[in-house]
Structure 1
Amino acid sequence: HVNCMFREPLAPLTAEALPEPFARAVDNWRRANQPISTSVSGPPEITARDIAALAREVSTSERGLLLAGGLHSEIERKAVLALSSALGWPLLADITSGLRLSPGKQLIPYYDLLAASESLRRKLAPEVVLHLGGKLTSKRLQQFLKDAAPSVFVHVSPYGEPVDPDHIVTRHIQTNIASFCDALCEEVPSPQESDYLTRWQQANRLVEDILNQNCDGERLSEPAIARALSRNLPDSHALFVASSMPIRWLDMYASTDAGVTQVGANRGASGIDGTMATATGYAQGLEQPVTCLTGDLALLHDINSLALVSSSTWPVIVVLFNNNGGHIFDMLPVAKVREGYEQHFVSPHGFRFADAAAQFGLAYVCPSTANDVIGAYRDATQQDRSSLIEIPIDA
């Protein structure tokens, strides 16, 4: 197996020259007498001098943006929220941060949908960005940040590998996230009233009103079910999300009503492999029930691990979107390639999963309306056993 990193688009599209943004970035680097980005790493605790210098840098900006990627503890999450409050900046929290499903004064949950608006992208472009934690799910957010080209873009992570697919980070800091947040909170001045934060909040409320008006109803759609599921997650459950569209639907459409902070996901090139096994291990490790939102191909890739789901001492409720294939590719340039697209990318299979549930001794239900889905899910969370809820989606 050879895993090669290629730039998008991966479809066989032709171009006579380098894309303009890429050519401009290369040209700027060639002319400059310094690297594109610098890194601060080594000591587990960042120095007071580094913190003081960064505090001066961020406190002068009126258009600062705080990003929360994957976070791994309640200590980190509380520290990020405290820093958001200390800075007075909008907080854009990825679904894997554990902050996306909870209400917060400066939390902007619908940033992905806001980034679809060209006019809002111009009005909300940041000057300074502080990214804490792991990679981001939203492609639109990444494109928004790339187009904004902030003069200061700091990424903080306890790991050495930078998260910078578009080469726009100006400084990587390898350190403990909670300690970093605590130290920066001590240095920054008290936040002032911010028109920038207000504009983000107003736009976010508008999107929330539209979602509330349009995501209710009986029709089975993945965005509506993802939003409804986020509103009905029990406090006792953690959430595990499969790659491809399930994690994206939640990142885009989830409500902030749940308050669930334990959110796990497999990300990367092999993200759909091992979904059921990882969800079961997540439940065992946390010692609490887990709701797993998955797609049909992710389940098929790991269907033998339903044996683990069935025997788990902590219930795993599998909520399955079955749209008969990998329809994430419908949103990518490769969808324009007619020859072989349906067979090799969408990979329709025609399977339903009732017999698989029976084979592994799982409770099973296949609801036909949105209200039935939520009713079935609530019933499943009341049982002391794992179950499979299959939701057929017309792709």
Structure 2
Amino acid sequence: MNYFLSEEQNMIVETAREIALKKILPVREKYDHEGIFPWDVVEALSEADMCGLYIPEQYGGFGGGVFELCLAVEELSKIDGGISLAMAATALGTFPILLHASEEQKQKYLPDIAAGKSIAAFGLTEANAGSDALGMRTTAVLDGDHYVLNGTKQWITNGENAQVYTVFAKTNPEKGARGISCFIVEKGTPGFTFGKHEDKMGIRASSTTELVFQDCRIPKSAILGREGMGSIVAINTLNYSRPGVGSQALGIAAGALDDAVKYSRERVQFGEAISSFQAIQHMLADMATEVEAARALLYATARTIDAGEKKFAKDSAMSKLYCSDVAMKVTVDALQVMGGYGYMKEYPMEKRMRDAKITQIYEGTNQIQRNEIALQLIKEAAS
């Protein structure tokens, strides 16, 4: 199917594919088993000027948008959905700066992120504040020219490997959603340490770590926007970033489909390739249709965002929801096509299925996405 990519966009796809095949494919099994963070892949992306695809040229980026980011993440995720997270999660941590930072803050942080010298992380989730972000307990108390941060963030992607963190804390707990603020916190700030490194089912080459703040003093100038804007920063960020999760899920699904088709042509049973059996053909046909439908929705959403449309929360939630559900279904079906071989760790399909599952959970569970979609539908009908 032709999605009418520009010459530059096709170049992004080709570059990401080359990095995936040369840098990710040889190490994906080892990195998954041992939980190794893919610094060598980050370096390769940096050398290819891929780290700043969504960052404006004035800050050293490519000058693209969400669509260009999605193209690259999808292609990397066809080979490994965990390793691709080094790029996707950095975008998540960077969007608050892109959307809400002062010019001075943008000049300070974006060039190094665009150059691949820094990676970023997004510090919202806590042990008792996942879907219910308002339940966070991390606080930021103003003390002279500094805020003092105290609390713990959990399940933070890029964890201890990032250099720049966008962290949410309550500056006025009595005000509910209007009492949350967002801050830029640099690695190495006194009082900022790391806790438990999570041992995960999938995306094991992506670090997931606790962020611990104990009387961590950060300057007033580290706040994004103004005090009390944290909920707005979080909502806007997630609306921009959810297609990135969609592209990760889409890549996992597309890679699983490719593997299943290849295997079905090579596997011989009853004297012929199993690709000749109608039962297998119908499974492959359904998988391919679902992947293309997911891609069409994701690309349309990303292009809508980049076109400057103001209302895209519903589209963003739909793309994350549908792509991740497709990833889960396609990887399960692809594993079934491969039978016993698909179930073995010697082959990548069981890993794809493990990686796919997280895309239905993080950056808003798919149940939360359905809530958001329904809310937007009802608002549209009421207006």
Instruction: State TM-score, norm by structure 2.
Output: 0.25
Greater Cα radius of gyration, structure 1 or 2: 1
TM-score (norm 1): 0.25
Q: Which has the higher helix share?
A: 2
